Each structure stands twice: as C-alpha cells, then as structure tokens.
Amino acid sequence: MVKKMYKGKNSRIKISTHNYKNLYFAAGFSKKGKIVRIALPKDNINDAVSEISKHHPEFSLSDENKGLVQEIACMYFGENINFDLKLIEMDIESEYETSTIKTKFERDVILEISKIPYGTVQTYKDIAMSLNTNGYRAVGTAIGKNPFPIVVPCHRVIRSDGSIGGFRGGTEVKVDMLSNEGLKIKSNRIVD
DNA sequence: GATTGACGCCGAG
DNA sequence: CTCGGCGTCAATC
C-alpha cells in the first residue's frame, strides 16, 4: 500500500521560470525533481508562475530546473527535442499530493498522446480507438486537463474533419505550435 | 441521477 | 458550409 503524503513540507514544489523571445515559461517540480505541471507561455512572469501556483499554493522559486524550462521553451518554438518522459510525474493525485493527474483514464490519455510523433497529428477519435472506447468527447475533456502541455503534445490532437479543435490556452496557441512544427494550416484546417 | 465537455456523425437548410 | 440534434463516456455536482 502506498503511503499517502499530507499537505505541508511534502507538498511544497519548486517553480522554475525562463524568459525566451519575450514570453515567460514556467514549470513546477516535485521534491524528487519530477515535473508536476507546465504553464503555457505568458507575456509576464507573474502570470506564468501563478499558472502553476494556483494548483500548488505551497511553492518556492528556484533556478534548480531552469535548464528543463529552457528546453520546454525551445520545444514550444518548434525544436524537435526528444523529451524524457521519466521526468514527468505520472502518479495519480490520490497517492501523492504533488501529483497532478487525477484518474487512470487521464493518465492513459496522457500516455497515448505522448506517442504522437513530432510534426504529425492524430484525431480525438484516433486516441479514443487506441484506448478502446467510443468516448471521443471524454478523451477531449481529459486532454483539456493535460497538466504538461508542450511536452505532452496535446496540440497534435485535432478533430476528425481536419479542423484544429479546441485548446485551453486558446486556439491561436495551438495553431502556433503546429505551425512551428512545420504543419500548414489554412482557415482553421490542416492542409494535406 | 443530471449536467458538462478541447468530439463525431448525419441530415436539413 | 454552417447548424442542430443525438450518440457516447468520464468527471463533477
């Protein structure tokens, strides 16, 4: 049986930030050094930090993991980096206070979209089929909660009709990231 | 149970 | 092409 961690010292995380091309990136790290959450870029550092801290109120700022945040920033701008998924906290929240994933279903979805290669896309339906379910919509909802955007490429999941589909940080951000990976988009559609 | 989604499909304008 | 309506399923209330 897994020992439950309680709020307090153990749930304190460290947040690192990085400024790149006038955008501010941030990520939260557990005591073990694993990523617990990633923020989409903001235009000021406070917004970037609070994007993380609103889910993890107990935190301290630290440059300890700045290198990783730099990497994430590069990925946002289209660099094809093979990010080590072992650096991501995949445990379920009920087991560790510093985890971010809530259910097994969410984790399965996260793991599935992590397989989508750089510069390619899959549909919500594709993901659902890989998971043996017809809950296309449930898949979309789960992806919408992805705590690790950019690194877990939820921006590579689009609708079955070829249109871009939704994105929590705004569709423009999704379009930006796909464009940075070399995909061409015309009037909200991937052009083949 | 009832409602709510980053969806999919089909049929009517 | 754009809507609406219904199917579907996990999470949340």
The residue ranges of every structural domain in chain A are: 13-87, 104-191
Residue A141 CA distance to nucleotide C11 C1' (Å) = 9
- Whether the CB-CB separation of A12 and A32 falls below 8 Å is answered with no
Q: What is the pLDDT of residues A38-74, one digit of tens each?
A: 999 999 999 999 999 999 999 999 999 999 999 999 9
Question: CA A103, CA A146: separation in Å to the nearest integer?
Answer: 12
CA atoms within 13 A on the CB side of A58: 11
Sign of CA dihedral A40, A166, A146, A52: positive
User: Which residue lies nearest B5, CA-to-C1' measured?
Assistant: A141
Q: What is the pLDDT of residues A8-45, one digit of tens each?
A: 445 799 999 999 999 999 999 999 999 999 999 999 99
- Residue A8's identity, in one-letter code, is G
Q: pLDDT at position A43, please?
A: 96
Neighbours of A158 (CB within 10 A): 23
Sign of CA dihedral A133, A135, A141, A144: positive
Indicate if A154 belongs to the active site. Answer: yes
Q: What is the pLDDT of residues A143-192, one digit of tens each?
A: 999 999 999 999 999 999 999 999 999 999 999 999 999 999 999 999 97
Q: pTM to 2 decimals?
A: 0.93
Q: pLDDT band for position A6 (50/70/90)?
A: very low
> Quick one: fold of A104-191?
Arc Repressor Mutant, subunit A (1.10.10)
Which tokens in the block code for residue A78?
A: 């289209």
A157-158 and A122-123 beta bridge pairing: parallel
Q: What is the pLDDT of residues A81-130, one digit of tens each?
A: 999 999 999 999 766 778 899 999 999 999 999 999 999 999 999 999 99
Q: pLDDT at position A8, please?
A: 45
Q: pLDDT at position A118, please?
A: 98
Question: CA A65, CA A63: separation in Å to the nearest integer?
Answer: 5
- Residue A94's identity, in one-letter code, is S
Residue A162 CA distance to nucleotide C2 C1' (Å) = 16
